[in-house]
Amino acid sequence: MKSTMGWKALCFLVLDLTSVVLASSASPPKAVGFQFERKRTPSGTLSRRSNVDVPLLNTQNSFIYVANVSVGSPPQNVSLQIDTGSSDFWINTPDSVQCTQRSCPLGTYSANASTTSKYLNSNFIASYIIDGNATGDFITDDVSFAGVTVKGLEMGVGYNSTCLANIWGVSYSSAEAVVAYLPNGTYNTAGMYNNSVLQMVSQGLIQSPTYSLWLNDVAASVGSFLFGAIDTAKFQGPLSVLPIVADPVNGKTDALMVNITSISLSTSDIPLSVNATEFPQAALLDTGTPTITVPTDVFINIANQLNVTSVQGVALCDCALANSSATVDFGFAGLNISVPMKSIVVEPTAVDLALFAHTSQQLPPGTCIFGIDPLSSGNFGTMLLGDSFLRSAYVVYDLANNQIGMAATNFDPKGSNIVEIAAGPDGIAAALKASASPSPTSSGSMPSATGTSSGAPSATTTGKTTSAGVSMVWGEGKQVLVLLGGLVGVIASVVF
């Protein structure tokens, strides 16, 4: 999701305080990781956005990615949507329009109730094409998650908000809502600040402004998010390092975009796009977007070959398509990511069915929503690679070097192999080189946010040293384990 460009997210995945914190013997923790759990939101609404040909009703609003944090003193527990398409960390207040007239299922925050909050100004404003906008104050306060505390984090407080979700944006600082893009092609950077990623670097919590995302299989209940590190057990094959390209709208490198070089369907020997001028084309890798958007002619070709139809502008298909062996294949420079049908075909919720009924349309039994859309004026012609794509890719974001690492995901990792990403021009490549082997060095799997997953080691399990020289152990439940490089074993365990 991107301010003034992005989509409101659709998946409710809870990033719990279950964590791993890595440290060397002479420095503070260099990586912070957590696990999220995939859950549905309690309700949804039918949002309208414009398509070049027909109005499109977006019903896939039942899920968002959410991190659980505590803010201020005494701590106020809230949840925020993790969003790679925006940059601001902001929270609704109890008195906002959204919370008083609708609902705020992710919780609220009161700056006046925190003794550590500090007022900065009243310049906070964020706007989204779908799901409203928010205005209010900029403040600083302490934010705790995954066993660490980010001191004095600058954030927005949405006193006037019509947005359902609190947002934790992790993109470039230049994409912060306070930064204005001027007609002369420059930025008005007055008020630009260290967002959460940069603040973590400045406070020594991580070495570099980087993070990695592993959404796992569409049927899985857990995935992982790592600040400052790569988990080489979570992908298969080589991890390609791609340059982040300029936003085609403003010509600036202020969004996490890479070039797509081709799109094809595995059931066809011919690439779906017959217009060579369409590729390469920039695409935004966005956790705030549930689906995939592609050029209109590519979408039409996919729809024709897979018997995808449309009702009220929503792409629909036979639910049996989820069991097909067909894949939509996305080509990048030196890399191909195949997305299976089971990640694209979405079963409608009861809310979806009711909303279709409200528009006098009845979905026939066995009908599902197809998670690929044509480009529309609503997203300014920018291709979006959302959850449907990201489940099939392991993605590493390097904000300092303007690079994205990408590989085919490993849906069945036998443990974890955490490698820190150090500061420097080589970033991702240096981290991969530091890892002598991509094979896991710790047994078991990350624990569930609601308990220990099958095969997960206990809190007293001895850690193992990775090839990068970092000793690690996964915690259980809500334990936080602090470990020292070169020293095998648990140093401290704190139970919340």
Per-residue b or e along 291-308, where b marks 16 or more CB atoms closer than 10 Å to that residue's CB: bbbbbbebbebbbeebeb
Cβ pair 417, 439 in contact under 8 A: yes
Q: What tokens appear for 48 in the block?
A: 């309208």
Residue with tokens 């085919």: 408
286 is known as an active-site residue: yes
Instruction: List Cβ neighbours of 33 (8 Å cut-off, separation of 6 or more).
Output: 19, 20, 21, 146, 224, 225, 226, 227, 229, 231, 418
Which one, of 210, 216, 154, lies nearest residue 400 by Cα?
210
Per-residue b or e along 4-19, where b marks 16 or more CB atoms closer than 10 Å to that residue's CB: ebbbbbbbbbbbbbbb
Helices marked H in 121-263 — which ranges? 196-202
HSE-CB at 103 with a 13 A cutoff on CA atoms is: 7
How far apart CA 196 and CA 202 sit, in angstroms, is 10
Catalytic residue, chosen from 16, 83, 231, 352, is 83
How far apart CA 283 and CA 262 sit, in angstroms, is 12
Q: What are phi and psi of 197, to 5 degrees?
A: -65, -45
Q: What tokens appear for 439 in the block?
A: 């094979």
- The residue type at 122: S
83 is known as an active-site residue: yes
Q: What tokens appear for 212 in the block?
A: 């990695």
Per-residue b or e along 382-408, where b marks 16 or more CB atoms closer than 10 Å to that residue's CB: bbbbbbbbbbbbbbbbbbbbebbbbbb
HSE-CB at 24 with a 13 A cutoff on CA atoms is: 12
Catalytic residue, chosen from 137, 286, 352, 398, is 286
| Residues designated catalytic | 83, 286
